[in-house]
């Protein structure tokens, strides 16, 4: 009985260790992204909601790349997010979310596997983004055991993006 409790207690720790892997392997979603273009707005309140994402301002049409290898789980047109992509990493531990896209790359579809660095869409201002400041709204969600694309715990992407930009140099 005591042993069972020990193993159960260890499980979240083991999961957490494995879970960090895809974030640590990220490449920047925009080629040539500079640290100066990154600002941690995760905790900011936007339109009455905690932002829980990072906005990367880029000209409309700038290619957006998959930050990790994985699967396009959902292409969703949302009122606030506009054209969005939900990408699961290989282990289905994290979901990477790209929003306000002007559009998807030709041929992109749900269930498709993508490699890190593949162009998946283009920066835009669809949804509730200001048309004068096209940007990529980028978020990371830790998926629950059910692995539902619409249900996850937001993780601040800022440290992972900073590390990715430094590695890309
Ligand atoms: Zn945003």
In the reported structure, the alpha carbon of residue 55 is separated from the centroid of ligand 1 by a whole-number distance in angstroms of 5
Distance 134 CA to ligand 1 centre (A): 11
* 78-81 contact pairs (CB < 8 A, 24+): 78/127, 79/127, 79/128, 80/47, 80/127, 80/128, 81/126, 81/127, 81/128, 81/137
pLDDT in the model for residue 12: 53
The predicted structure's pLDDT at residue 161: 97
Give distance in angstroms: CA of 164 to centre of ligand 1. Answer: 19
| Residue 109 confidence (pLDDT) | 98
Q: What is the pLDDT along the chain (169 residues), one digit of tens a residue?
A: 455 555 555 555 555 554 457 999 999 999 999 999 999 999 999 888 999 999 999 999 999 999 999 999 999 999 999 999 999 999 999 999 999 999 999 999 999 999 999 999 999 999 999 999 999 999 999 999 999 999 999 999 999 999 999 999 8
Task: Please state the separation of Cα 158 from the chain's center in Å.
Answer: 11
pLDDT recorded at residue 169: 81
For residue 47, what pLDDT is reported?
A: 82
51 alpha carbon – ligand 1 mean position (Å): 6
């Amino acid at each position: 009985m005591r042993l069972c409790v020990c193993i159960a207690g260890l499980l979240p720790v083991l999961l957490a260790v494995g879970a960090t892997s895809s974030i640590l392997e990220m490449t920047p979603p925009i080629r040539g992204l500079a640290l100066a273009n990154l600002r941690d707005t995760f905790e900011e309140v936007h339109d009455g909601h905690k932002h829980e994402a990072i906005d990367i301002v880029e000209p409309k049409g700038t290619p957006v790349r998959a930050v990790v290898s994985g699967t396009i789980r959902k292409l969703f047109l949302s009122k606030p997010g506009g054209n969005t992509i939900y990408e699961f990493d290989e282990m289905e531990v994290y979901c990477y979310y790209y929003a306000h896209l002007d559009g998807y790359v030709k041929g992109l579809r749900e269930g498709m596997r993508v490699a890190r660095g593949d162009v998946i869409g283009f920066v835009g201002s669809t949804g509730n983004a200001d048309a004068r400041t096209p940007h990529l709204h980028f978020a990371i969600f830790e998926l629950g055991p059910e692995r539902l694309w619409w249900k996850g715990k937001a993780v601040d992407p800022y440290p992972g993006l900073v590390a990715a930009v430094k590695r890309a140099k």
